[in-house]
Amino acid sequence: MLEHGICFYNGNLCSCCYAPLKYAPYIFPYYNGEIVNIDALFLKINRWRNDAKNNHYLRSCQNCHQLETRDWADDNYIDQVYITHFYKCNANCIYCINDIKPSDKVRDTYDIIPILDNLKDKGVLKKGFELHIGGGEFTIYKESDAIIEKYVLSGFSSRIAIATNGIKFSKSIFNAMQENRACIIISLDSGNRNLYKKIKRVDCFDNVINNIKLYSSTVHSKDNTFLKYIVLPKINDNKKYFKQFLDIALDCSIKGIKIDIDGIYCRQKNYNIDEELLDFMKWSVDCSLEKGFDVETFSFYNQCFSMK
């Protein structure tokens, strides 16, 4: 994302949503919803490009499993936007990377639409751009319906990928999925109510299953409804639990499974995780494939294996 990406956090503006270390590629290290200064934005991006052409890489990008050798573009535009500046959430997962004070979890945040509108009006935001949503929980974010209406259903973005916990059903997301303009990734992390409650610290398992069934009833659901299993050492790294999760996926007519590992744990271990856990991760992928699912592994998982 270094060339054409922009990532909105609460407190800073970044170029990328993933960095293996605690450093990040900050465009503006202090940022709280101001209209983006286009000249300053591309001054920074072009400096990174030139440094990289001269083999000087950002510290935050070193060892990143996504680094690859390609020619750098010279054009100044944004075609990937990641929105994750909101913390409000109706779950309370034990692995939440937004490890913040409870007061922050209910704190309001800046409006994103005026910022996107300005980038669009200035010709910086490219038609057909990709939109990715983190959070917090998007279905309870104040601008979620408006973002989908204005940027997704209008056809200005190519697609929106939303990480949601699935506790609240969103008609807007459902509509965008019907048009094949949205995909959702629901982190279920479990296949039974008790384990779900232990991990998410809310008692919403049955409700989420109902919502998954609603979302997976859209026409393109094989391509746009995904379930995720974040492996939590000593909590759900268990074959029986994982098979229960796959049974639920099957019952909900899900085709695509995403697998990752707890990011906080990975960072604590500097991505050097135990062989036993790595074996479980590999097994979870093989088991899913054997049962006919499409499988994708995520950032922390890939980072661990790339550092072996």
x/- mask, ligand SF4, residues 95-124, rule CB under 6 A, reads -x-x--------------------------
x/- mask, ligand SF4, residues 9-28, rule CB under 6 A, reads --------------------
> Considering the rule CB under 6 A, would residue 207 count as an interface residue with ligand SF4?
no
Q: How far is the CB of 165 from ligand SF4 (least distance, A)?
A: 4
Nearest to 237 by CA among 259, 267, 209, 205: 259
Residue 97 near residue 263 (C-beta atoms within 8 A): yes
Distance CA 61, CA 3 (A): 13
Nearest to 98 by CA among 183, 185, 163: 163
Distance CA 273, CA 270 (A): 8
> Considering the rule CB under 6 A, would residue 93 count as an interface residue with ligand SF4?
yes
Provide the sign of the torsion angle of the four alpha carbons 5, 9, 13, 17, taken in this order: negative
> Considering the rule CB under 6 A, would residue 89 count as an interface residue with ligand SF4?
yes
Strands 11-14 and 5-8: antiparallel
Can you tell me which of 79, 137, 143, 189 binds ligand SF4, judged by CB under 6 A?
137
> Considering the rule CB under 6 A, would residue 185 count as an interface residue with ligand SF4?
no
Residue 80 near residue 5 (C-beta atoms within 8 A): yes
Can you tell me which of 21, 38, 91, 214 binds ligand SF4, judged by CB under 6 A?
91
**Considering only 76-84, 87-95, 239-247, 274-282, which stretch makes contact with ligand SF4 by CB under 6 A?**
87-95
Q: Which residues bind ligand SF4 (CB under 6 A)?
A: 89, 91-93, 96, 98, 135-137, 165
